[in-house]
Structure 1
Amino acid sequence: MRIDIEDLTVALAGRDVLCGARLVAAEGEIAGLVGPNGSGKSTLLRTVYRHLRPRAGRVLLAGRDVRSLTAAAAARHIAALPQERGTETEFTVREMVAMGRSPYQRAFAGESAADLALVTAALTEVGLQGHGARPFAALSGGERQRVLLARAFAQQPDVLVLDEPTNHLDVQHQIELLALLRARRRTTLISLHDLNAAASLCDRLHVLHRGAVVASGPPREVLTPELLAEVFGVRAAVVDHPLTGDPLIAFDHRGADGR
């Protein structure tokens, strides 16, 4: 399903954090949000999965305002992996992942055989098969991240909304997670701090700066040295990755004066 964000303005504590943002994630497309801390990425994503209500504008899911959907209907279409993730819980890994099936279950109904199979498949996809009985609270940060991603997969959504999903993951698991997202080809909105990961993963990038979308398009067109200097305040060259051919950002870690 396609996501359209039209003239979205969101206020927090009386201040507009997003100001008239417009962007799109086409069906089956991975659309990335990049920008400095405080640019509005998380606020935008939280509005997409209805955690925040916009002051103006709207989020459209296949042409329909997400605010017009019931909570259960929205959850059947959109699965979210937010940054704020509670860790104090007595649930097991399997129980956490099984929560992804709740939008499809009637009140007081138990898990069906299909639900159990989907939970097992989701755990296998993120490399945690055989860990279902472990307490969620006892996991490392990276393991918790993979459990929550498995929960989103078990939800079988049309749209994935992922806020910094590679946080706390080592390099191997970051690469595996991004490969999973490529293989699944759900409509995806994802925020990433790692610009090289964003350039490799995303079909389209939207750059946020001070609450506004200042650039949108394919990574190669968007990630220019001029934009990196203006938005991120860094000196960098953009070259071809020697292994993949994707845009590769080479940052000047010595600073503009070369020291």
Structure 2
Amino acid sequence: MTSTATTATTATRTALVTGASRGIGRAIALRLAADGVRVAVHYANNEAAARETVDAITAAGGSAFPIQAELGVPGDAEALWKAFDAQADGVDIIVNNAGIAGPGRIHEVDEDAYDRVFAVNAKAPFFILKHGLDRLRDGGRIVNISSGVTKVAFPDMTAYAASKGAVEVLTLTLAQTLGHRGITVNAVSPGTIETDIHPWMADPAAKAHAASFSVFDRVGQPDDVADVVAFLASEQARWITGQNIDASGGSGLGL
């Protein structure tokens, strides 16, 4: 495929959302589908969860299909786009959401753990976008999910924070690179979001502590982030690019 693809002439746009089988990615997929977007629901290993996301979209009258590709391994981007190409011809929205946490202070992070975090969180989005640009139609949207840990020092997530910092710089660079095609490139930085990857929130005291970071005194929900992504993916956000939108509920404003 070539970069000569033009803006979609039909009302239906197509989106790729990585890590869309659960959590924030699932909420983004559902939200985009509610806006009439056909969604490629990417997953790494949990096919059942991806099918649940697709089924939820189709039950609501939307359109979606699952694609599988493990990220953070050689050839991951090529495998992802091969699976995508089997079911769609071109893309209008790319949301790089998939990521892993990789906790630990610098003296606790070994090279294998560091390489794994960067392979999934920074390298995979880079090459997904590299190989996706000849499929992304002019006037398209790229949204990269970053994190609030790039805004304040968070020593317990050193490698993770560094990987998300790389994503933010990539966002800025690509906004400049792709502007001539009418493509916007933005990042969204959530704070603490209540998903199944945070089982510690089952402890009321721990959840209350997390809620205290936000000026609204609650933890974020996946829909809080999905709505921001949907806006950036819309025509209404056509004049916004190269930005990192804080979606943390005002976390850390008093620091």
Q: What range is the shorter-chain TM-score in? A: 0.3 to 0.5
> Relative CO higher for 1 or 2, CA cutoff 8 Å, sep ≥ 6?
1
Q: If each structure's strand is expressed as a fraction of its own residues, which one has the higher value?
A: 1
Higher share of residues assigned helix: 2
Larger Rg computed on CA atoms: 1
Q: TM-score, normalised by structure 2?
A: 0.33
